[in-house]
């Protein structure tokens, strides 16, 4: 009798609840060796190559390209090869396979007891099981589940590809509209992009290839006829697709995935937990001498304000009502991408000079855009900055994501008429918005924090 093993999607090390299938490296019926590449999975933070946990034959793949598979759900079935090398039972794979053994999970040695803490130890189980604690993600915290969601690969400009493939194409300067897809349903895979980059057949900016016959023959146009009637609903009253599969169909449901999926969950969670209050004011930059780095000045002003009012450079735990004040300043910089919101951490901003700040922000932004940023740089910041004014807008109510206590929003610079002694002048000013969690800080602390920022931004240098 064949020995069939089911491989469950492991916890990929980030405490994330699910991942999206980017590309299978095998198909059903293929023979695979232990630790050979099995599948590339996109989490909210990165694209992870998952190796095969067995040597044998792939019997079933649980999910197609673009499917969302939750942590602990079945990923693939294998028929084990008894003559090939297999991983020993106690040998680590580098991932946690199946549901995570957290606090309250059954102990390995004695199932009648449960794990006492993340550091180990066993105790008798409680009468009622506690809810699983949330774990960090791109912009906050989420939990794990055990289901598979099927979704359409995102389409834009007539091209079907997952966000990770689009990011790779951007990094390799490959024009996706000129790549020949090999994936199921006309989906462009990661290998398609790599091949196009290697042979230069789809370089960005290159003239599109023209068939030889088309160089000599005029195209044959179809006879005009009555246009088919398209309606947004079927005879049963349900929404139907009114655009070709290769195009985005507006007005129809599309399941969120990856970064945008996490963003939706985390923002809703933040809205449910935080008691937000926003203060707004303007910083007068009229005294600035020469051209200065606005972002570096903003970072310095936040650092000064954090040292002046430490209550806003803090974490707050609403469950046990504890507050942690931080002696260092790690600033979460909101980075907007096509896939959703990333918040990488600018570490030790309180010890960086202007050049160091600019270099660090450039590195973070580049690693976010090509999806190479490590998970460790997407969490642990002590306060946040949203520089939305680089696009538009003067004031905002940015969202505080627990456990942080405050976030600063910098609006678009403007030239305003200002009253001065003896008349009026036109000064360049920066609108500032400060949202804070009123559970953890008072209005007076927030106002003094904002004043400290305004005072520092008003200095000449």
Q: Would you state the pLDDT for residue 301?
A: 97
Average pLDDT of 199-215? 60
Q: Name the one residue in this structure whose structure tokens are 């995102």.
A: 154
pLDDT higher than 70, residue 229? no
Over residues 58-103, the pLDDT tens digits come to 999 999 988 888 889 999 999 998 888 888 764 555 555 444 444 4
Higher pLDDT, 143 or 219: 219
DSSP states of 49-109 as a string?
A: EEEPSSSEEEEEES--TT-EEETTSEEEEEEE-TTS----TT---SSB-SS---TTSBPSS
Kindly give, in sequence order, each residue whose CB lies less than 8 Å from that of residue 433, ignoring residues fewer than 6 positions away.
278, 279, 280, 395, 396, 397, 398, 408, 409, 410, 411
pLDDT above 90 covers what percent of the chain?
A: 43
Q: How confident is the model at residue 27 (pLDDT cuts 50, 70, 90)?
A: very high
pLDDT higher than 90, residue 250? no
Poorest-confidence range of 76-90, 217-231, 277-291? 217-231
Average pLDDT of 214-227? 51
E-state strands within 120-166: 122-123, 135-136, 141-142, 148-149, 155-156, 159-160
**Residue among 18, 9, 6 at smallest CA distance from 50:** 9
Strand, coil or helix: 443: helix
Q: Would you state the pLDDT for residue 146?
A: 44
E-state strands within 268-347: 276-284, 314-317, 322-325, 331-333, 335-337, 340-342, 345-346
pLDDT higher than 50, residue 357? yes
Count helices and strands in the chain by DSSP H and E runs = 6, 26
Q: Would you state the pLDDT for residue 132?
A: 39
Inter-axis angle of helices 163-172 and 354-369, nearest 10: 120
pLDDT above 70 covers what percent of the chain?
A: 74
Over residues 101-143, the pLDDT tens digits come to 444 455 545 555 444 444 444 445 544 444 434 434 344 433 3
Strand, coil or helix: 304: helix
Strand, coil or helix: 384: strand
Average pLDDT of 424-442? 96
Higher pLDDT, 31 or 212: 31
pLDDT higher than 70, residue 45? no
Q: Would you state the pLDDT for residue 312?
A: 97
**Residue among 189, 168, 229 at smallest CA distance from 64:** 189
Q: Would you state the pLDDT for residue 295?
A: 92
- Gyration radius (Cα) of the chain, Å: 27
Q: What is the pTM of this model?
A: 0.60
Question: What's the CA gap between 241 and 238, in Å, rounded?
Answer: 10
Q: Would you state the pLDDT for residue 169?
A: 82
Q: Would you state the pLDDT for residue 152?
A: 45
Q: Are 49 and 95 in contact (CB under 8 A)?
A: no
Q: Would you state the pLDDT for residue 445?
A: 97
Q: Would you state the pLDDT for residue 351?
A: 94
**Residue among 431, 343, 354 at smallest CA distance from 389:** 431
Q: How confident is the model at residue 155 (pLDDT cuts 50, 70, 90)?
A: low
Q: Which backbone phi and psi does 423 adopt, to 5 degrees?
A: 160, -145
Looking only at the bridges linking them, the beta strands covering 114-115 and 122-123 are antiparallel
- Considering the chain, what is the average pLDDT of its residues? 80
Q: How confident is the model at residue 261 (pLDDT cuts 50, 70, 90)?
A: confident
Question: What's the CA gap between 211 and 138, in Å, rounded?
Answer: 45
């Amino acid at each position: 009798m064949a020995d069939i093993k089911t491989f469950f999607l492991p916890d990929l090390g980030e405490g994330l609840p699910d991942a999206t299938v980017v590309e299978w490296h095998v198909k059903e019926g293929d023979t695979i060796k232990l630790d050979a590449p099995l599948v590339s999975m996109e989490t909210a933070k990165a694209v992870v190559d998952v190796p095969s946990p067995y040597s044998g034959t792939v019997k079933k793949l649980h999910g197609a390209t673009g499917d969302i598979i939750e942590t602990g759900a079945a990923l693939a079935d294998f028929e084990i090869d008894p003559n090939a090398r297999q991983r020993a039972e106690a040998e680590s794979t580098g991932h946690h396979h199946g549901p995570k053994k957290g606090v309250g999970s059954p102990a390995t040695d004695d199932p009648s007891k449960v794990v006492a803490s993340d550091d180990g130890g066993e105790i008798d189980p409680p009468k009622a099981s506690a809810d699983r604690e949330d774990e960090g993600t791109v912009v906050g915290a989420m939990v794990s589940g055990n289901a598979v969601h099927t979704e359409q690969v995102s389409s834009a400009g007539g091209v079907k590809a997952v966000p990770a493939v689009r990011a790779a194409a951007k990094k390799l300067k490959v024009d996706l509209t000129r790549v020949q897809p090999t994936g199921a349903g006309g989906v462009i895979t990661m290998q398609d992009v790599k091949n196009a980059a290697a042979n230069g057949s789809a370089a960005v900016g290159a003239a599109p290839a023209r068939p030889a016959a088309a160089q000599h023959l005029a195209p044959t146009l179809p006879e005009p006829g009555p246009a088919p009637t398209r309606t947004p609903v079927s005879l049963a009253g349900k929404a139907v697709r009114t655009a070709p599969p290769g195009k985005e169909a507006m007005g129809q449901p599309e399941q969120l995935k990856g970064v945008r999926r996490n963003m939706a969950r985390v923002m809703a969670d933040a809205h449910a937990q935080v008691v937000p209050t926003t203060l707004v004011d303007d910083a007068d930059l009229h005294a600035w001498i020469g051209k200065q780095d606005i972002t570096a000045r903003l970072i310095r002003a936040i650092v000064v304000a954090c040292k002046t009012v430490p209550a806003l450079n803090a974490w707050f735990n609403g469950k046990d009502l504890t507050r942690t004040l931080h002696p260092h300043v790690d600033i979460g910089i909101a980075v907007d991408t096509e896939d959703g919101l990333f918040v990488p951490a600018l570490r030790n901003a309180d010890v960086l000079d202007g050049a160091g700040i600019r270099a660090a922000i450039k590195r973070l932004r580049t690693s976010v855009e090509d999806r190479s940023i490590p998970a460790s740089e997407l969490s642990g910041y002590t306060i946040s900055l949203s520089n939305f004014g680089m696009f538009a807008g003067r004031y905002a109510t940015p969202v505080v994501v627990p456990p942080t206590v405050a976030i600063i929003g910098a609006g678009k610079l403007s030239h305003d008429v200002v009253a001065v002694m003896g008349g009026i002048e036109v000064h360049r000013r920066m609108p500032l918005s400060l949202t804070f969690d009123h559970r953890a800080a008072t209005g007076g602390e927030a106002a003094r924090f904002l004043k400290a920022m305004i005072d520092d931004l008003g200095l000449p240098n």
